[in-house]
């Protein structure tokens, strides 16, 4: 053991002698025990973590439930963890109790932390938390090989690798995702079993509503219930459905409005994100719109609005179509260019896409790069002309303002998206405006958009709403879907503009999310789908799913270049009008 102590010390490891029960065999061991004589006849050897061992940290997988092997296998199966493990020879050793240590060094090391816990039944029938993964950091130590029962399975204790702080954070948060212990603090609105919050949590669509709400707020679902907070590029921040069915568990210290290491119901998640934490307001809306818990809130039925006969006569005459009076076609403001073979020669043909007085929709799965396609439409509309010989904009005089309303991204990410517009256009875009609406409630967002449209007094021709679902209190509520789609119809007519919306597709099919998605698709002039390429993460494919009164434009693809700019790929196919084929 003295020889082992000498080798470990030479490798920069602070050591301490341990007893058979793994406890320190020395009264004072902080910083390590340097006397060789202390190791003579010692049953085991421990290694001090933290600064004393040059930034050493240990992930300790305990085997209290006999599942340590299963947990560490699942841990290294996580894609980001696997990448770190392939890049750095992380040291892994088996412990005498069937657990495992994962060892690395980092310039930033915390104290001892309990990362993941699991419910265990106590003798009195209560359930209590038991730690399954924890760290040994500053102020801690672990027993190491060649102590009896400890074996190095991978790597070398004399050469423990360094990871950077970002990689360490990925390892720590990945371990936290294994937590299955939770305590949900119930609100008044979900405290008796038959309140609006209770009934909503028990409803079949509550989890889908919660998932959509999180995505609108900028959270990203990575896979299998693992989530990443807005503004974070790596690692895991929370889980959904892992600590308990329908429960969102956040362990990020920067996951506002959620507290770190706290669990939330679907009712609480939506209240915090869409209602600024006003649980009562969400409960009232549930009672009014879905008749959930209505008896508790004594919501009076809405009075049916009736209009005076003279007003109805005016509306009737305004809505009447007189076939003797011609109605002009709405101006075309956006086209997609394609090549056509006609009479033996090639020519460009610009296919109609967007017109004034209508709205359209861009749909696609998460991370399909819908916002990048939207950026290209905004760029060509902001600097009318051609873009990549594919997108063609012709904005009428007096309609030169182009506006982006971003409801999903953080203010910084919306800023980055806005900076991209002139770069794509390769020109100044003085008439482009962008507004970040993420922190506002759905009704506030609608009011802000209306106010902006009024302020620009009909001079805005092309408007993009990135995150149309964020204008609705609930995407699966039919009344809300009718209200939001009605706003789009009114805004486009009243302000004579074209509004392009972005809405997510369901995870398991290609339908736009919820009742709102269905309503948008039914009334849109054009529906465009973006799909990511399975073989190249930088490439996405665009197709026309629906267009009213015109032929579908040809599919095309775009890729993200080294500067983060979308570039449309040039194709060599063309449409032959004689053979009606490509």
Residues 464 and 561 in one domain: yes
As given in the structure block, the two tokens for residue 104 are 């690395």
Are residues 65 and 132 located together in one domain of the fold? yes
The answer on 289 and 212 residing in a single domain is yes
H helical segments located in 137-179: 165-176
Q: How far apart are the first and last CA of the chain?
A: 77
Q: Are residues 481 and 355 in the same domain?
A: yes
Rounded to whole angstroms, what are the CA distances from 573 to 340, 391, 582? 9, 17, 6
Q: What is the pLDDT of residue 363?
A: 96
Largest CA distance in the chain: 109
pLDDT of residue 302: 43
Both 227 and 156 in one domain: the answer is: no
3-state secondary structure labels for all residues of 526-550 = EEEEEEECCCCCCEEEEEEEEECCC
User: What does the alpha-carbon distance between residue 249 and residue 226 come to, in Å, rounded to a whole number?
Assistant: 10
pLDDT, averaged per 10 consecutive residues of the chain (582 residues), comes to 94 94 81 90 93 95 95 94 94 96 93 92 81 94 95 96 94 94 82 82 91 92 91 90 92 88 93 88 80 49 56 75 81 90 76 95 93 96 92 93 93 92 94 93 92 92 95 85 94 95 86 89 95 93 92 93 92 42 39
Burial, 317: exposed, middle or buried (Cβ in 10 Å; 0-12, 13-18, 19+)? exposed
Domain range for 422 is 332-576
Answer with the one of 274, 297, 320 that is the final residue of a domain: 297
* 516: Cα within 13 Å, side-chain hemisphere: 28
Instruction: Say if residue 159 is in the same domain as residue 228.
Output: no
Domain membership of residue 65 (yes or no) is: yes
Q: Are residues 235 and 150 in the same domain?
A: no
Domain stops at, among 129, 144, 176? 176
Name the token pair of 307.
């209009």
Task: Report the number of distinct structural domains present in the chain.
Answer: 3
One domain, residues 226 and 159: no
Strand partners, 504: 364
**Distance (Å) of CA 110 to CA 49, 179, 260:** 10, 19, 16
Same domain, 82 and 215: no
Helix (H) or strand (E) holding 576: strand 575-576
Would you say residue 466 lies in a domain? yes
| Domain match, 338 and 240 both | no
| Domain closes at, from 156, 176, 196 | 176
Q: What is the CATH number of the domain that holds 152?
A: 3.30.2250
Shared domain check, 348 and 391: yes
pLDDT at 575: 38
- Does 366 map to a domain? yes
Question: Is residue 309 in a domain?
Answer: no
Tell me how far apart the alpha carbons of residues 236 and 166 are, in angstroms, rounded to a whole number.
12
| Secondary structure percentages of the chain, helix, strand, coil, to 5 | 30, 30, 40
DSSP-assigned beta bridge partners for residue 53: none
Residue 311 lies in a domain: no
- Residue 353 sits in a domain whose CATH number is 3.40.50.300
User: What's the pLDDT at 290?
Assistant: 60
Sheet holding 556-560, edge to edge: 432-436, 401-406, 460-466, 498-504, 359-364, 526-532, 539-547, 556-560, 566-568
In a domain, residue 327? The reply is no
Residue given tokens 């932390």 in the structure block: 113
Quick one: which of 555, 581, 575 has its CA closest to 340? 575
Residues 153 and 7 in one domain: yes
Contact indicator for 574, 346 with CB cutoff of 8 Å: yes
The answer to whether residue 149 sits within a structural domain is yes
The pairing of strands 114-121 and 220-223 is unpaired
Could you identify the residue written with the tokens 């209508």?
Answer: 358
Query: Does 319 reside within a domain?
Result: no
Cβ–Cβ < 8 Å for 372, 560: yes
pLDDT for res 305:
52
Threshold 0.75, pTM exceeds: no
Predicted local confidence at residue 234, as pLDDT: 86
DSSP H helical ranges for 117-189:
165-176
């Amino acid at each position: 053991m003295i020889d082992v102590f000498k080798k470990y010390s030479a490798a920069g490891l602070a050591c301490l002698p341990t007893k058979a029960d793994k406890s320190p065999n020395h009264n004072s061991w902080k910083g390590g025990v340097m006397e060789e004589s202390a190791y003579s006849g010692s049953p085991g050897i421990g290694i001090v973590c933290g600064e004393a061992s040059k930034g050493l940290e240990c992930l300790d997988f305990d085997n209290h439930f006999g599942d340590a092997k299963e947990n560490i296998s699942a841990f290294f199966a996580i894609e980001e963890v696997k990448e770190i493990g392939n890049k750095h020879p992380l040291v892994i050793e088996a412990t005498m109790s069937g657990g495992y240590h994962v060892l690395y060094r980092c310039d930033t090391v915390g104290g001892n932390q309990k990362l993941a816990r699991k419910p265990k039944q106590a003798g009195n029938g209560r359930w209590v938390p038991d730690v399954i993964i924890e760290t040994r950091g500053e102020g801690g130590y672990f027993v190491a090989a060649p102590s009896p029962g400890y074996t190095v399975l991978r790597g070398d204790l004399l050469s423990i690798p360094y990871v950077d702080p970002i990689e360490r954070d990925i390892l720590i948060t990945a371990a936290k995702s294994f937590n299955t212990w939770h305590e949900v603090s119930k609100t008044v609105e979900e405290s008796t079993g038959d309140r609006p919050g209770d009934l909503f949590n028990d409803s079949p669509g509550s989890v889908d509503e919660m998932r959509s709400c999180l995505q609108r707020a900028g959270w990203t679902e990575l896979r299998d219930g693992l989530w990443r907070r807005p503004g974070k590029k790596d690692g895991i921040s929370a889980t959904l459905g892992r600590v308990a069915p329908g429960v969102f568990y956040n362990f990020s210290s920067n996951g506002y409005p959620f507290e770190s290491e706290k669990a939330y119901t679907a009712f609480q998640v939506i209240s915090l994100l869409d209602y600024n934490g006003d649980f009562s307001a969400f409960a009232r809306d549930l009672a009014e719109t879905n008749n959930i818990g209505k008896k508790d809130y004594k919501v009076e039925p809405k009075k049916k609005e009736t209009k005076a006969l003279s007003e109805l006569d005016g509306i009737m005459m305004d809505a009447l179509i007189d076939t003797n009076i011609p109605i002009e076609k709405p101006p075309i403001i956006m086209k997609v260019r394609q090549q056509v073979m006609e009479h033996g020669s090639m020519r460009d043909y610009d296919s109609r896409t967007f017109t004034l007085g209508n709205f359209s929709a861009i749909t696609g799965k998460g991370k399909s790069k819908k916002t990048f396609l939207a950026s290209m439409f905004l760029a060509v509309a902001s600097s009318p002309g051609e873009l990549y010989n594919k997108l063609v904009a012709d904005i009428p005089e007096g309609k030169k303002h182009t506006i982006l309303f971003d409801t999903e991204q953080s203010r910084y990410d919306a800023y980055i998206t806005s900076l991209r517009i002139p770069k794509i256009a390769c020109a100044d875009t003085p008439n482009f405006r962008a507004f970040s609406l993420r922190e506002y409630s759905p009704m506030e967002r609608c009011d802000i958009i209306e106010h902006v449209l009024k302020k620009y007094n009909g001079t805005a021709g092309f408007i993009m709403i990135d995150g149309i679902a964020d204008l609705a209190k609930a995407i699966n509520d039919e009344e809300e879907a009718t209200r939001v789609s009605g706003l789009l119809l009114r805004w486009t007519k009243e302000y004579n503009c074209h509004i392009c919306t972005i809405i997510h597709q369901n995870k398991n099919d290609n339908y736009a999310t919820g009742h709102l998605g269905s309503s948008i698709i039914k009334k849109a002039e054009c529906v465009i789908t973006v799909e990511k390429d399975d073989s190249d993460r930088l490439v996405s494919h665009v197709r026309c799913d629906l267009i009213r009164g015109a032929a579908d434009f040809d599919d095309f693809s775009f890729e993200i270049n080294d500067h983060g700019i979308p570039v449309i790929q040039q194709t060599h196919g063309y449409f032959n009008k004689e053979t009606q084929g490509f």
